Structure 1
Amino acid sequence: MGWGGGFRVTNEGRPWASIPPRLAAEVRRGLADEMTEEIHRRIPEYARRWDDAFAAVIHSAVDRVIDEVLRRVTDQETSAEPVAEFFRGIGHSVAREGRPLDTLQTAIRVAGLTVWRRISADAESLKLSAQLLCALGETVMLIQDEVAAAAAEGYAQAEAAVAGELTRRRSRLVNLLLARPPASAEDIIELARVARWPVPRTVAAVALYERRQGVGRPALPPDILADLSRSKPCLIVPDPDGPGRARQLDAALTDWVAVVGPTVRLSEVSRSMRWARQGLDLVRGGVIADDSVVRCAEHMSTLILFRDEELLAALSTRQLAPLAHLRQSQQDRLAETLLAWLQAGRNANEVAVRLHVHPQTVRYRLRQLDDLFGERLQDPDLRFELEIVLRARALLSGSGRASETPEGQVITLRR
């Protein structure tokens, strides 16, 4: 018996309306096994894990597609939603299992190709008309597209859910790493495992501040933990001294004020973060220059110097008391000269070179300093403390934060 002779196709986007139900049932016979075997043969990843449970999933998916074709042929008003919902679930499961969407889409294409090959092979024996052959082919392609789109949608939904959960786990991991006292190694390792974060040997904390609002999330390598939603945004960088790591951070953080703390063991992340945040305060205050990503390792003396500014101010008041009665301009000149003299090994000519003034001017200022400080300048301990407070004063002057002290008052340091 021939199919489709003298028969007019008016599908209007529903080609299955042209297919007699008996023909669909005829084509269906044995097709599920054929499609399953072809998927098994063409996709090595699926073949490697061809256990009973996985085979049942494939068989179920194949049967669902074939049943959908028959359903549409016999019921012209049927909805595509049930099969779409089924394949959204398949896509969701594939994503949750960590398998790629590309492989699933390949399986769908292989299944469609197998159906079309079967139809083509049976076309002559079934005496299919050209109209019916086209209707069958178009039906296969349309359902294949619907199935692929539904699977992709389910996959994307699952990936978004997984990504959201992963972000939450990584945020908890950041909190755990920064906890004081430090969390146990076992707790860190377990949370790192579920957060998909390889536990490194060394790390560095990074304190961040937006240069302007709405700069967006930086494009960071996946092994860098980032928590930008907290009140003090931060990163935890594994293997911070590894090859190329500095370039990665410089490239990713151009829109952020960023300070990298010292490299430490994993149990000492909070210490690295403490220094990074202090460094960030000094950068934002202008004491440390904001040159790309700032690294604490290059500014350790400044960090130590400003670890306790109240104590530093008290030391400054005490040791610079001989300058207190001078005008501000005189204080500035003599403080600058005294610092250069201490740094130059008490060589007047070197001081003149450093300050770009005449050596005679330097000698005049040094005589003034000798009159003000007297024999105290011969005390190495005093010279050490003087250099500390004068260095701090110079840094603050460069940042615009040096105190303007009225005549008759001692020089102080303030934030």
Structure 2
Amino acid sequence: MALDARSTPRPWHALPTDLGALVCAAIPAIADELVDVLGPAIPVYRSLEGPFGRDVVAAVADALHDFAGVIEHRPPTVGADRALYVAVGERWFRSGHSLDDLQSGYHLGARVVWRRIAAVATDAGAEAETVAVLADALFAYLDEIAAVTVEGFVAAQAAAAGELERRRAQLVATLVADPTPERAVLERTAADASWPLPRSVAVITLAADHGGLRDRRLPGDLLIGSVDGAACLILPDPDGPGRRQQLELALRGHAAALGSTVAAEHAARSWARARALWRLLDPGVPGLLVADDHLLELLLAEDPSLVDDLARLRLAPLTALAPRSRERLESTLLAYLRHRGNGPRIAAALQVHPQTVRYRLARLRDLLGAALDDPEARFELEVVLRARSAARP
């Protein structure tokens, strides 16, 4: 039954008129061979002996019956059965199998089906050109089924990802809520979000406008959400090896504040500390500030008037100086207290000549006198100067 290229007939018109019935008769054998071939070749298909497997085989049989019924009358297409194959893809995703396994099964299954149908066509006396037309029609039909099934899989995957993201955003809000929910509530919310509740966490905050943050190489178990208009990131096991470095690298270019490490049920405390530190830092300067490195500043920030009172008491001799001179002497005094009077370290910290340091220290001793040798006065001076340094951009 040769094709006449000049008349360009529709391909399915060149097929034997009784081929549909012959294909239908071969469908049970084709389904059995699919089960025998797919299982050993692709491990996930070994489950074809169960209920889901029976559904898959039934879908294949339905597809072949539909193909057999239309090849003599119209171009093979899934048509009204599209929703059926979309549902197969959705169910495949929900079963926990991968898209790669689905597509591998289609590729192998197509070869099995073609061998059988080609044999049927050959036994029916179809010529080579007719068999070629049949191959084109069959593979086009199977490709369409595969594409529609993949469409269903991807749609289900996207819906699941959106739902998971929503649940994780809810988990972020639950973890930092005040008052803190009971442990059982946290565990249930974490389980719904597929996020194992860790023993310890630390909370990070940064500008609400953190576009592109998800594209960075953040730790895979990091929760990202938004609370009260601020970005809220929850890091499990923050003190684990390399965790801080990984976070700093991922947040490079962002100003961010990291709260203290706490038990998961006390995440609200870490969040409050991160937000307090955020209010102290200069958001125009990128970098990760850590609350545990600024506990004194955070403590003093609770009542700024204490710092003002302490400053009036201890820094009164400097108030008569010009603002620029006073600022230089305060910076030198803080470096002096931090480095225990070590001249070279003070000069390096201030990036000035050692002779300049010696001049400034002499000036400070003239102004402050015995306070520089009094342990209590030195402590109060350092507290005041640290607080001012933290508040100064």
**TM-score of the alignment, normalized to the shorter chain, above 0.5:** yes
Structure 2: gaps of 5 or more residues: none
| Offset, 1:351 | 7.4
Q: How does 1:16-415 map to 2 (within 5 A)?
A: 16-43=12-39, 44-48=43-47, 50-51=49-50, 53-76=51-74, 80-209=78-207, 214-215=211-212, 217-219=214-216, 220-228=218-226, 231-284=229-282, 290-291=286-287, 293-332=288-327, 334-336=329-331, 338-339=333-334, 342-343=337-338, 356=354, 357=356, 359=358, 362-370=361-369, 380-397=375-392, 399=393
Deviates more, 1:237-246 or 1:297-306: 297-306
| Offset, 1:79 | 5.6
- Matched to 1:252, the amino acid is A
SS in 2 for 1:196: coil
| 1:193-216 residue CA offsets vs partner (Å, 9 max, x unmatched) | 121112222211111226x77445
Is the 1:32–1:59 contact (alpha carbons within 8 Å) kept by the matching residues of 2? no
Q: What is the alpha-carbon distance in structure 2 between the residues aligned to residue 322 and residue 381 of structure 1?
A: 17
Is the 1:205–1:235 contact (alpha carbons within 8 Å) kept by the matching residues of 2? yes
Q: What is the alpha-carbon distance in structure 2 between the residues aligned to residue 12 and residue 145 of structure 1?
A: 23
TM-score, length of structure 2 as denominator length: 0.84
* Aligned counterpart, 1:406: none
| Offset, 1:359 | 4.2
SS in 1 for 2:135: helix
| Offset, 1:330 | 4.9
Q: CA RMSD in A?
A: 3.3
SS in 1 for 2:214: coil
| Offset, 1:383 | 3.1
Corresponding pairs, count: 385
Q: What is the alpha-carbon distance in structure 1 between the residues aligned to residue 262 and residue 248 of structure 2?
A: 20
2:11 to 10, 15, 18: 15
| 1:25-49 residue CA offsets vs partner (Å, 9 max, x unmatched) | 1122132442344245423312236
Is the 2:329–2:360 contact (alpha carbons within 8 Å) kept by the matching residues of 1? no
SS in 1 for 2:170: helix
| 1:329-354 residue CA offsets vs partner (Å, 9 max, x unmatched) | 45335544544554465789997897
- Matched to 2:18, the amino acid is R
Q: What is the alpha-carbon distance in structure 2 between the residues aligned to residue 214 and residue 94 of structure 1?
A: 34
Change (3 A) 1:133 1:15: same
Q: What is the alpha-carbon distance in structure 2 between the residues aligned to residue 352 and residue 19 of structure 1?
A: 94
- Matched to 1:218, the amino acid is D
Structure 1: gaps of 5 or more residues: 400-415
Deviates more, 1:139-148 or 1:255-264: 255-264
Q: What is the alpha-carbon distance in structure 1 between the residues aligned to residue 178 and residue 7 of structure 2?
A: 70
- Matched to 1:385, the amino acid is E
Deviates more, 1:170-179 or 1:89-98: 89-98
Q: Which is helix-richer, 1 or 2?
A: 2
| Offset, 1:8 | 4.3
| 1:173-198 residue CA offsets vs partner (Å, 9 max, x unmatched) | 11111111211111111121121112
- Matched to 2:221, the amino acid is D
Deviates more, 1:92-101 or 1:7-16: 7-16
Q: What is the alpha-carbon distance in structure 2 between the residues aligned to residue 13 and residue 230 of structure 1?
A: 68
Change (3 A) 1:33 1:201: farther
Change (3 A) 1:149 1:302: same
SS in 2 for 1:133: helix
- Matched to 1:34, the amino acid is I
TM-score, length of structure 1 as denominator length: 0.80
| Offset, 1:60 | 2.2
